[in-house]
Protein backbone atom coordinates (compact mmCIF):
# COMPACT_ATOMS: atom_id res chain seq x y z
CA UNK A 1 0.00 0.00 0.00
CA UNK A 2 1.37 3.44 -0.93
CA UNK A 3 -0.29 5.22 2.00
CA UNK A 4 -0.58 4.97 5.77
CA UNK A 5 -4.23 4.69 6.84
CA UNK A 6 -5.65 7.43 9.09
CA UNK A 7 -8.68 7.59 11.42
CA UNK A 8 -9.42 3.83 11.28
CA UNK A 9 -12.44 4.28 13.59
CA UNK A 10 -14.10 6.41 10.88
CA UNK A 11 -13.10 4.61 7.69
CA UNK A 12 -14.46 1.50 5.99
CA UNK A 13 -16.39 0.55 2.88
CA UNK A 14 -17.49 4.15 2.19
CA UNK A 15 -14.50 6.23 3.33
CA UNK A 16 -10.72 5.96 2.93
CA UNK A 17 -8.24 8.35 4.57
CA UNK A 18 -4.46 8.24 4.47
CA UNK A 19 -1.15 10.04 4.31
CA UNK A 20 2.22 9.43 2.66
CA UNK A 21 5.47 11.27 1.89
CA UNK A 22 5.66 12.90 -1.55
CA UNK A 23 8.53 10.59 -2.47
CA UNK A 24 6.28 7.54 -2.10
CA UNK A 25 3.65 9.12 -4.36
CA UNK A 26 5.43 10.01 -7.56
CA UNK A 27 4.86 8.35 -10.95
CA UNK A 28 3.17 8.97 -14.24
CA UNK A 29 0.52 11.64 -13.97
CA UNK A 30 -2.87 11.59 -15.62
CA UNK A 31 -2.69 13.62 -18.88
CA UNK A 32 -5.88 15.57 -18.01
CA UNK A 33 -4.64 16.38 -14.52
CA UNK A 34 -1.27 17.41 -15.94
CA UNK A 35 -2.97 20.17 -17.96
CA UNK A 36 -3.77 21.89 -14.64
CA UNK A 37 -0.17 21.94 -13.48
CA UNK A 38 1.99 21.85 -16.62
CA UNK A 39 3.17 25.45 -16.22
CA UNK A 40 3.81 25.34 -12.47
CA UNK A 41 7.22 25.26 -10.77
CA UNK A 42 8.67 21.75 -10.16
CA UNK A 43 8.04 21.72 -6.36
CA UNK A 44 4.38 22.54 -6.97
CA UNK A 45 4.18 19.87 -9.67
CA UNK A 46 5.63 17.37 -7.20
CA UNK A 47 3.05 18.11 -4.48
CA UNK A 48 0.21 18.18 -7.02
CA UNK A 49 1.21 14.77 -8.42
CA UNK A 50 1.60 13.37 -4.89
CA UNK A 51 -1.91 14.53 -3.98
CA UNK A 52 -3.42 13.00 -7.10
CA UNK A 53 -1.54 9.71 -6.61
CA UNK A 54 -2.78 9.51 -3.04
CA UNK A 55 -6.36 10.23 -4.08
CA UNK A 56 -6.04 7.53 -6.75
CA UNK A 57 -4.76 4.97 -4.24
CA UNK A 58 -7.54 5.81 -1.76
CA UNK A 59 -10.17 5.61 -4.53
CA UNK A 60 -8.80 2.21 -5.61
CA UNK A 61 -9.00 0.99 -2.01
CA UNK A 62 -12.74 1.76 -2.19
CA UNK A 63 -12.95 0.01 -5.60
CA UNK A 64 -13.91 3.30 -7.26
CA UNK A 65 -12.94 3.58 -10.93
CA UNK A 66 -9.95 5.67 -12.00
CA UNK A 67 -10.98 9.27 -12.74
CA UNK A 68 -9.02 12.48 -13.28
CA UNK A 69 -9.25 15.01 -10.43
CA UNK A 70 -9.24 18.33 -12.26
CA UNK A 71 -8.92 21.78 -10.72
CA UNK A 72 -11.68 24.40 -11.04
CA UNK A 73 -11.07 28.07 -11.86
CA UNK A 74 -11.26 28.85 -8.12
CA UNK A 75 -8.55 26.19 -7.53
CA UNK A 76 -10.89 23.78 -5.72
CA UNK A 77 -10.79 20.14 -6.83
CA UNK A 78 -13.60 18.90 -9.11
CA UNK A 79 -14.64 15.54 -7.68
CA UNK A 80 -16.39 13.05 -9.96
CA UNK A 81 -20.07 12.49 -9.11
CA UNK A 82 -19.44 9.10 -7.48
CA UNK A 83 -17.21 10.47 -4.68
CA UNK A 84 -16.41 13.44 -2.45
CA UNK A 85 -13.01 14.14 -1.03
CA UNK A 86 -10.28 16.47 0.04
CA UNK A 87 -6.50 16.68 -0.04
CA UNK A 88 -3.71 18.60 1.63
CA UNK A 89 0.05 18.94 1.44
CA UNK A 90 2.71 20.26 3.78
CA UNK A 91 6.37 20.51 2.80
CA UNK A 92 7.05 16.78 2.40
CA UNK A 93 3.82 14.96 3.20
CA UNK A 94 0.40 14.65 1.70
CA UNK A 95 -2.93 13.60 3.26
CA UNK A 96 -6.23 12.91 1.55
CA UNK A 97 -9.71 11.52 2.18
CA UNK A 98 -12.15 10.02 -0.32
CA UNK A 99 -15.79 9.23 0.51
CA UNK A 100 -18.20 7.25 -1.61
CA UNK A 101 -21.29 9.02 -2.96
CA UNK A 102 -23.94 9.49 -1.56
CA UNK A 103 -22.62 8.92 1.96
CA UNK A 104 -20.79 12.25 2.38
CA UNK A 105 -21.88 15.77 1.49
CA UNK A 106 -18.64 17.30 2.63
CA UNK A 107 -15.08 16.14 3.29
CA UNK A 108 -12.23 18.37 4.46
CA UNK A 109 -8.70 17.34 5.40
CA UNK A 110 -5.59 19.29 6.30
CA UNK A 111 -2.01 18.35 7.19
CA UNK A 112 0.36 20.78 8.91
CA UNK A 113 3.88 20.91 10.29
CA UNK A 114 3.85 21.64 14.02
CA UNK A 115 5.37 24.93 15.16
CA UNK A 116 4.64 27.26 12.26
CA UNK A 117 1.78 29.14 13.92
CA UNK A 118 3.82 31.90 15.53
CA UNK A 119 2.13 33.76 18.39
CA UNK A 120 2.34 36.96 16.29
CA UNK A 121 -0.24 35.33 13.98
CA UNK A 122 -2.69 34.44 16.74
CA UNK A 123 -4.74 37.67 16.59
CA UNK A 124 -5.27 37.10 12.85
CA UNK A 125 -6.00 33.39 13.00
CA UNK A 126 -7.82 32.97 16.30
CA UNK A 127 -10.66 34.51 18.31
CA UNK A 128 -10.14 35.94 21.81
CA UNK A 129 -11.68 32.85 23.34
CA UNK A 130 -9.34 30.53 21.37
CA UNK A 131 -6.34 32.62 22.43
CA UNK A 132 -7.48 32.47 26.08
CA UNK A 133 -7.61 28.70 25.78
CA UNK A 134 -4.04 28.53 24.38
CA UNK A 135 -2.70 30.42 27.37
CA UNK A 136 -4.14 27.66 29.59
CA UNK A 137 -2.40 24.91 27.61
CA UNK A 138 0.88 23.55 28.99
CA UNK A 139 3.68 25.45 27.16
CA UNK A 140 5.28 22.23 25.86
CA UNK A 141 2.01 21.30 24.13
CA UNK A 142 1.07 24.77 22.89
CA UNK A 143 2.74 24.57 19.46
CA UNK A 144 0.93 21.34 18.68
CA UNK A 145 -2.40 22.74 19.90
CA UNK A 146 -2.21 26.00 17.92
CA UNK A 147 -1.26 23.94 14.85
CA UNK A 148 -4.31 21.70 15.38
CA UNK A 149 -6.60 24.74 15.65
CA UNK A 150 -5.15 26.35 12.52
CA UNK A 151 -5.42 23.07 10.63
CA UNK A 152 -8.98 22.47 11.83
CA UNK A 153 -10.07 25.81 10.36
CA UNK A 154 -8.50 24.88 7.01
CA UNK A 155 -10.18 21.45 7.09
CA UNK A 156 -13.51 23.11 7.90
CA UNK A 157 -13.06 25.58 5.04
CA UNK A 158 -12.42 22.80 2.53
CA UNK A 159 -15.31 20.71 3.90
CA UNK A 160 -17.96 23.43 3.66
CA UNK A 161 -16.81 24.98 0.39
CA UNK A 162 -18.48 22.57 -2.09
CA UNK A 163 -21.84 23.23 -0.35
CA UNK A 164 -21.56 26.97 0.20
CA UNK A 165 -19.04 28.19 -2.41
CA UNK A 166 -18.27 30.77 0.26
CA UNK A 167 -15.10 32.30 1.63
CA UNK A 168 -14.83 31.96 5.42
CA UNK A 169 -12.35 34.09 7.37
CA UNK A 170 -10.36 32.83 10.33
CA UNK A 171 -12.33 35.09 12.72
CA UNK A 172 -15.68 33.94 11.33
CA UNK A 173 -15.61 30.61 13.18
CA UNK A 174 -14.57 29.52 16.65
CA UNK A 175 -13.20 26.17 17.74
CA UNK A 176 -13.40 24.39 21.05
CA UNK A 177 -11.58 21.26 22.25
CA UNK A 178 -14.07 18.48 22.96
CA UNK A 179 -11.52 15.80 23.89
CA UNK A 180 -7.97 14.83 22.93
CA UNK A 181 -9.05 13.75 19.43
CA UNK A 182 -12.01 16.01 18.63
CA UNK A 183 -12.94 19.68 18.26
CA UNK A 184 -16.26 21.45 17.72
CA UNK A 185 -16.77 24.50 15.51
CA UNK A 186 -19.37 27.26 15.58
CA UNK A 187 -19.83 30.50 13.67
CA UNK A 188 -18.54 33.50 15.63
CA UNK A 189 -21.33 35.89 14.61
CA UNK A 190 -24.10 34.01 12.79
CA UNK A 191 -26.47 31.11 13.39
CA UNK A 192 -25.00 27.64 13.07
CA UNK A 193 -25.68 25.77 9.84
CA UNK A 194 -25.59 22.09 8.90
CA UNK A 195 -21.88 22.38 8.08
CA UNK A 196 -21.03 23.53 11.61
CA UNK A 197 -22.55 20.46 13.24
CA UNK A 198 -20.09 17.58 12.76
CA UNK A 199 -16.94 17.28 14.88
CA UNK A 200 -13.45 17.90 13.53
CA UNK A 201 -11.05 15.02 14.23
CA UNK A 202 -7.36 15.56 14.96
CA UNK A 203 -4.44 13.13 14.96
CA UNK A 204 -0.70 13.58 15.41
CA UNK A 205 0.92 11.61 12.59
CA UNK A 206 4.49 11.85 13.95
CA UNK A 207 6.55 14.20 16.13
CA UNK A 208 6.26 17.02 13.59
CA UNK A 209 2.91 16.69 11.82
CA UNK A 210 -0.77 16.75 12.60
CA UNK A 211 -3.81 15.98 10.46
CA UNK A 212 -7.37 17.20 10.93
CA UNK A 213 -10.47 15.81 9.23
CA UNK A 214 -14.08 16.96 8.99
CA UNK A 215 -16.88 14.91 7.46
CA UNK A 216 -20.45 15.99 6.72
CA UNK A 217 -22.54 12.86 6.29
CA UNK A 218 -25.37 12.81 3.76
Ligand X SMILES: CC(C)(COP(=O)(O)OP(=O)(O)OC[C@H]1O[C@@H](n2cnc3c(N)ncnc32)[C@H](O)[C@@H]1OP(=O)(O)O)[C@@H](O)C(=O)NCCC(=O)NCCS
Shortest approach of ligand X to residue 155 CB, angstroms? 8
> Which one of 2, 34, 67, 71 is in contact with ligand X (CB under 6 A)?
71
End-to-end CA, the chain: 29
Distance (Å, whole) CA 40 – CA 89: 16
Closest residue by Cα to residue 100 from 13, 213, 211: 13
Tell which positions 153-172 bind ligand X, by CB under 6 A.
153-154, 156-158, 161, 168-170
Phi first, then psi, for residue 28 (nearest 5°) are -65, 130
Tell which positions 74-103 bind ligand X, by CB under 6 A.
74-77, 86-89
Distance (Å, whole) CA 25 – CA 21: 7
Letters for 28-67 (x = contact with ligand X by CB under 6 A, - = none) are: --------------------x--x----------------
For ligand X, the closer CB: 7 or 161 = 161
For ligand X, the closer CB: 100 or 153 = 153
| Measured CA angle at 113 (ends 175, 115), to 5 deg | 75
Q: How far is CA 121 from CA 81, 129, 138, in A?
A: 38, 15, 19
For ligand X, the closer CB: 19 or 170 = 170
209 binds ligand X (CB under 6 A): no
Residues near ligand X (CB under 6 A): 48, 51, 71, 74-77, 86-89, 110, 153-154, 156-158, 161, 168-170, 173
Amino acid sequence: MTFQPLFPHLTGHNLAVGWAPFDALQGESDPDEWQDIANAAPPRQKEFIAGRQLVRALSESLSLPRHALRRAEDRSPVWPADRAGSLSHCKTLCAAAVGRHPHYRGVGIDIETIGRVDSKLWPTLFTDSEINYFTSVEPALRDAETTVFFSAKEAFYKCQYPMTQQWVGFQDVELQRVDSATLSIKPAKRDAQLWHQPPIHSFQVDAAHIVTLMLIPA
